Amino acid sequence: MRNTYPEKNKSSQSQKLSRGAGAKHVYETLRQEILTLQLAPGVPLDETSLAERFVMSRSPIREALVRLSADGLVDMLSNRSTLVAPVKLEEFPRYVEALDFLQRINTRLAAKNRTDEDLAEMTRLALDFETACDADDHFLISATNRDFHTAIGTAGRNPYLAKAYERLLDDGRRILHLHIDYIRQSDKNNLLTQAHFDLIKAISAQDVDLADRFAHEHTRQFHDGFRGFLKAEYTQDFEFELATE
């Protein structure tokens, strides 16, 4: 985990891109670095330093930070300083509870409303996730996992539930990156790619109840992996349990 800004890219081509892309480029770059823990929780984000890094004025930097604040990824304090938002371990029980609900309802809706095109997209993304796991590419593992589940939300045809699910999936990327090394080294290897193909099978068959069960099992897989990590890495006892049904 890195506790400072990533090394400044001095490439003139990158600098030109940064100037042209403005706030959107800054937002997308910092967002990726925060979600993958290249920028660790609690790291200060100084507007002047960021303006120097991206070779632009402070206005687009400020706009990007405001967007990140709206995403819950940074905290903008009253003294005008900005910090990468903490990952609050004590809130994990509430997070996984919400994830389980939205994962199950979106997967149920996908089983009911999916099209052949939806199934093709899910299969493509499941294969991308499998490739990322084989390559042990941590960023692509979290990105393709998020994209796969977002495709399920899209197939459900309820944009309100899909959007809420997408937001939780993004929030979960930092949690995943916190313990991804633990998962990859675990004998149980909770990143079993078969889980995604099981979901596709149930959705393809339009078996709503089976899709719901697989979605819940997938949440439990994530829950158990992170709980194992906490027990292995922290002396503090974090007691939480996901409902069995």
Cα distances from 82 to residues 4, 25, 43, 88, 186, in angstroms, run 14, 18, 9, 17, 36
Residue 22 has a pLDDT of 86
| Mean pLDDT value of segment 23-41 | 92
Cα distances from 25 to residues 30, 92, 219, in angstroms, run 9, 30, 33
Kindly report, residue by residue over 177-229, the tens digit of the pLDDT. Answer: 888 777 766 644 445 678 999 999 999 999 999 999 999 999 998 888 888 88
Alpha-carbon distance 210 to 204, whole Å? 11
CB atoms within 10 A of CB 118: 20
Give the phi and the psi of residue 112 in degrees, each rounded to 5: -80, -35
Q: Are 40 and 84 in contact (CB under 8 A)?
A: yes
As a whole number, the mean pLDDT across the chain is 85
Alpha-carbon distance 210 to 193, whole Å? 18
- Top mean pLDDT of 4-18, 101-115, 133-147 is at 101-115
Kindly report, residue by residue over 73-117, the tens digit of the pLDDT. Answer: 999 998 789 999 998 888 889 999 999 999 999 999 999 999 999
Residue 245 has a pLDDT of 53
Cα distances from 44 to residues 27, 84, 173, 178, in angstroms, run 15, 6, 20, 19
Give the phi and the psi of residue 75 in degrees, each rounded to 5: -110, 120
Alpha-carbon distance 225 to 139, whole Å? 18
Q: Hey, what are 190's tokens?
A: 């909770």
Comparing 23-27, 98-102, 126-130, 183-187, the range with the smallest average pLDDT is 183-187
DSSP string over 23-41: HHHHHHHHHHHHHTTSS-T
Q: Which helix (H) or strand (E) holds 165?
A: helix 159-178
The fraction of the chain above a pLDDT of 90, given in percent, is 57
For the chain, list the domains and their CATH numbers: 12-84 (1.10.10.10), 89-233 (1.20.120.530)
Confidence of residue 10 (pLDDT cuts 50, 70, 90): very low
Kindly report, residue by residue over 44-56, the tens digit of the pLDDT. Answer: 999 999 999 999 9
CB atoms within 10 A of CB 77: 10
